[in-house]
Amino acid sequence: MSVRDMWKASALQLLLMILLDLALISLGRVPWLVLGTLALLAGVYFSFRRGMGFGHEACALMDSVKSVQSHGGPGSDQLDEKLLRRTWSRDRGVRGVLASALVPYAASCLYMMAALVPLRRALVPARVVALFLAMPFWPVVGYWFESMDQMHPAIIALLMISPFVLPLCMFAGYMQGPKLWQKSERAMAQGRRRAKARSRVGQKRVPKPPKPEI
């Protein structure tokens, strides 16, 4: 998984969650709080599972690249840089988190600056963008606030923290990649051993041809 892949996955999921939250708001305050919280928890879980898939795929690719490089086969010195950027790397995962959180976090910071300076012309557009990108997380504080445009510490904390939630969940799943890869490799090895054992047992049980009668 490259940094770009993580950014695209996080951006797409955030967009889908925003659209879902827009639909839930129309149901009323209480249903929105309940269903919005459940949707957020589901989004967190999905990000983690998506990260696990990315991590497992990246480890499989890394194992293939190492195999080619160790054997020194044809093309081992000409591996595509784009391919290498998709192999598993902790640092690459961290960069993916920062890239995924960059736009929402920058929007929140711009809103904070416009409110504190204050910049009246930029305040409303910055507020709309920042709150729109943080919409899936509104149910976390929605019980205490009827309006999200207040400069309350809880809302400020929400705007500052929410950009990192989904990317960090994806990163947590991504970090499970080596463990998942080792587990799948052990399962495949055990499967091959069982298949060989069954084939040997089958060979031993082959009936001998009857002896010719004299």
pLDDT (tens digit per residue) in 29-68: 999 999 999 999 999 999 999 999 999 999 988 888 877 7
Write down the pLDDT at residue 23.
Answer: 94
Write down the pLDDT at residue 150.
Answer: 81
Give this prediction's pTM.
Answer: 0.82
- In three-state form (DSSP H/G/I as H, E/B as E, the rest C), the secondary structure along 190-203 is HHHHHHHHHHHHHH
Rounded to an integer, the average pLDDT of 64-75 is 68
Label residues 88-112 b or e (16+ Cβ within 10 Å = b).
bbeebbeebbebbbebbbebbebbb
Write down the pLDDT at residue 30.
Answer: 92
Cis peptide preceding 153, ω within 30 of 0: no
Q: pLDDT-based confidence at 149, cuts 50/70/90?
A: confident
Contact (Cβ atoms closer than 8 angstroms) between residue 180 and residue 59: yes
Question: Would the pLDDT of 1 be above 80?
Answer: no
Contact (Cβ atoms closer than 8 angstroms) between residue 24 and residue 32: yes
Backbone angles phi, psi at 72, to 5 degrees: 60, 35
Residue that has been written with the tokens 């910055």 in this structure:
126
Q: Long-range contacts: 181-187, Cβ < 8 Å, 24+?
A: 181/55, 181/56, 181/59, 181/60, 181/63, 184/56
Most confident of 40-54, 114-128, 147-161, 185-199: 40-54
Worst-scoring range by mean pLDDT, 101-110, 113-122, 152-161?
A: 113-122
Domain ranges of the chain: 3-67+83-182
